[in-house]
């Protein structure tokens, strides 16, 4: 059974974020729903998603969508995740009203039921993001999600912001994202940090340098007093459909 659900991004997981210095209203989305699935026929699932998103209804949806495959996710039986992003809460309501009762949505849903199992879902909001122009150009970038359970939000944010703004964090050769998990069932996850790069070699080399840095050592000195790492997962983006520009 799926034990834990990470939030994203994944983006998380290959979702498009904006620079951390931008105002909140400038970020490309406000909320993200992540669904984890055990998929028996990935090709059929992808075809159903592509068909819906290319339909007139799908193209009008005020959301972005990505399909991602887990490369390493511990004991979880989930094989894939779907991340749906929205610019604001009103867009969640608009998409739901638009899709419910439609032929296109029902058709896609029938395929989902036929080829997936063990679905879980979370809702998150993007707190911060760093995008390096031209750093992630692959159609199938890889990401590492670090899910956290924060027990002392004030101490955590003070220490995390210092790490986030550090030279070691800024040197990561890709994009990085920080999210707050608003709803996640019985999971203890409250926050997640996502690191995204063009390929596995770049991701793992970048993570090794960050983890071994003096900035990380300073952060970790008291980290156990205000947060616990719940899980780490690595995934690869299979397909993405961006949020409409207007």
Percent of the chain with pLDDT over 90: 83
pLDDT at residue 9 greater than cutoff 50:
no
**Tokens, residue 197:** 């790069």
Interatomic CA distance for residues 232 and 161, integer angstroms: 20
* pTM summary value: 0.85
Residue 118, pLDDT score: 77
Q: What domains can you pick out in the chain, each with its CATH number?
A: 24-240 (3.30.70.100)
**Residues whose CB is less than 8 angstroms from the CB of residue 164 and which lie 6 or more positions away in sequence, other chains included:** 20, 128, 178
DSSP 137-165: --SS-EEEEEEEEES-HHHHHHHHHHHHT
pLDDT digit string (tens) for 160-172? 999 999 999 999 9
Q: Which residue has the tokens 């879980």?
A: 120
């Amino acid at each position: 059974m799926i034990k834990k659900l990470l939030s994203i991004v994944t983006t998380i997981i290959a979702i498009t974020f904006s620079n951390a210095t931008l105002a909140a209203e400038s970020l490309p989305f406000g909320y993200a729903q992540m669904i984890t699935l055990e998929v028996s026929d990935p090709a059929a699932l992808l075809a159903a998603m592509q068909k819906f998103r290319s339909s007139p209804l799908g193209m009008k949806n005020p959301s972005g969508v990505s399909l991602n495959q887990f490369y390493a996710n511990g004991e979880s039986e989930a094989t894939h995740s779907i991340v749906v992003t929205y610019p604001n809460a009103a867009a969640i309501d608009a998409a739901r009203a638009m899709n419910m009762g439609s032929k296109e949505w029902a058709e896609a849903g029938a395929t989902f039921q036929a080829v997936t199992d063990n679905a879980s879902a979370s809702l998150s909001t993007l707190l911060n993001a760093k995008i390096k122009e031209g750093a992630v150009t692959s159609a199938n970038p890889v990401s590492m999600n670090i899910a956290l359970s924060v027990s002392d939000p004030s101490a955590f944010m003070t220490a995390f912001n210092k790490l986030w703004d550090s030279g070691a964090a800024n040197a990561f050769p890709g994009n990085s994202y920080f999210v707050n998990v608003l709803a996640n069932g019985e999971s203890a996850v409250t926050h997640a940090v996502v690191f995204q790069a063009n390929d596995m070699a770049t991701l793992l080399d970048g993570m090794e340098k960050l983890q071994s840095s003096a900035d990380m050592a300073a952060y970790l000195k008291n980290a156990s007093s205000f947060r616990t790492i719940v899980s780490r997962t690595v995934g690869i983006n299979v397909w993405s459909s961006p949020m409409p520009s207007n």
